[in-house]
Amino acid sequence: MDKFTVVITDCDHGSIEEEKSEMAAINARLVLLPAGMPNDLVESCARAEGIINQYALLTREFLERLPRCQVIARYGVGVDTIDLQAATDLGIIVANVPDYCIDEVADHSLALLLAVVRKTAFYDRRIKAGEWDFRPGMPIFRMRGKTMGLIGSGKIGMEVARRIASFGVRVIAYDPYLKPAELPFELVSLDYLLRESDFISIHCPLNEGTRHLVGTEAFEKMAKKPIIINTSRGPIIAEKALIAALQAGQVSGAGLDVLEKEPPDSASPLLKMGNVVLSPHVGFYSAASISELKRRTARNVAEVLTGKWPAAVVNKEVRGKTRAHFA
């Protein structure tokens, strides 16, 4: 006899094996709704004690019609699909998985940086076009002794710092919310970072304070013609200004996993630049990170339904007025 019903509103991960095994452990019936927003989403979710969500929008009107729901777990970090205030008002816990791909994004940032510095993508394109010659990529400079500036140094920035330090690269960071004590690198002003860095890697969140943080004014302050790496969010860089800075030689290369417009227009000059390496917003991904994401998302639901406060609650203010019962 199933003790609970848990509904996955939508999921494009291919399989739901991890979710199934987590739900089996608490005797929950797991229902995966068909692809696309079904018309009877409310009906399907009305009997559920737990909901797992990917893209479907869970509005206040929708949440008000789910009398049994105790928890909504979102795959991933962002919870912009869920009306958080409504969930809190209704006593529904919203949980996420904020750290399932830290290693992947840090590795990807290094992969982009190395591809630009060592020109591996450039050579690969030329060899496949029939040319075997290292000279077109000259000069290539030595990494040891260079300075890497991190804009934002939370979980991912910290891992990038750890990795790049082993290349003999000095790390400095601009992060207005960190305290210097116990950091393995120097915290500096944004102006100093722009002036001193040979590489600049962006790891702050996108918000109104960081949108176009790296724009014309910032590029003008970059004294060392740095390489820019962005695995965070596209709009943190003003893309037109970046293109102009690349064309003017103010910036000597870029490795971008994220763009202002994804995918880019086919006319984007970035697609033609030999010193720019692009990837299709894949930094989060490895087979292991997705498996971990799925398991931990389902576990957030299992924990609430078995009376435990889950690992990462987004609407912490719901505590004390939840529908769930905690030991």
Residue from 4, 122, 174, 185 touching ligand NAD (CB under 6 A): that is 174
- Closer CB to ligand NAD, 157 or 255, in the complex: 157
Q: Which of 136, 176, 274, 280 binds ligand NAD (CB under 6 A)?
A: 176
How far, in Å, are 86, 140, 162, 180 from residue 49 at the CA level?
17, 58, 42, 44
Site stretch for ligand NAD (CB under 6 A), options 62-70, 81-89, 230-238, 261-269 = 230-238
Q: Which stretch binds ligand NAD (CB under 6 A): 19-27, 35-43, 88-96, 173-181?
A: 173-181
Site for ligand NAD in 111-140 (CB under 6 A): none
User: Would you count residue 177 as binding ligand NAD (CB under 6 A)?
Assistant: yes
153 binds ligand NAD (CB under 6 A): yes
Return the residue of 13, 195, 281, 308 that touches ligand NAD, per CB under 6 A: 281
Q: Which residues inside 93-112 make contact with ligand NAD, applying CB under 6 A?
A: 101, 105
283 binds ligand NAD (CB under 6 A): yes
Specify the stretch interacting with ligand NAD by CB under 6 A; choose among 25-33, 39-47, 126-134, 277-285.
277-285
For residue 154, state whether it binds ligand NAD (rule: CB under 6 A).
yes
Nearer CB in complex with ligand NAD: 227/290:
290
Q: Does 152 bind ligand NAD (CB under 6 A)?
A: yes
Q: CA–CA separation, 207 vs 220, rounded Å?
A: 23
Which residue of the set 74, 108, 163, 233 is catalytic? Answer: 233
Total residues contacting ligand NAD by CB under 6 A comes to: 28
Task: Clarify whether 260 is annotated catalytic.
Answer: no
- Note whether 260 binds ligand NAD by CB under 6 A: no
**Rama region for 119: left / alpha / beta (φ>0; ψ in -120 to 50; rest):** left
Nearer to ligand NAD, 93 or 160 (CB): 160
HEC per residue, the chain: CCCEEEEECCCCCCCCHHHHHHHHCCCEEEEECCCCCCCCHHHHHHCCCEEEECCCCECHHHHCCCCCCCEEEECCCCCCCECHHHHHHHCCEEECCCCCCHHHHHHHHHHHHHHHHCCHHHHHHHHHCCCCCCHHHCCCCCCCCCEEEEECCCHHHHHHHHHHHCCCCEEEEECCCCCCCCCCCEECCHHHHHHHCCEEEECCCCCCCCCCCECHHHHHHCCCCCEEEECCCHHHECHHHHHHHHHHCCCCEEEECCCCCCCCCCCCHHHHCCCEEECCCCCCCCHHHHHHHHHHHHHHHHHHHCCCCCCCECCHHHCCCCCCCCC
Q: Is 281 a catalytic residue?
A: yes
Is 263 a binding residue for ligand NAD by CB under 6 A? The answer is: no
Identify whether 203 is a catalytic site residue: no
| Contact positions vs ligand NAD (CB under 6 A) | 101, 105, 151-157, 174-178, 203-206, 209-210, 231-233, 257-258, 281, 283-284
Q: Which residues are known to be catalytic?
A: 233, 262, 281
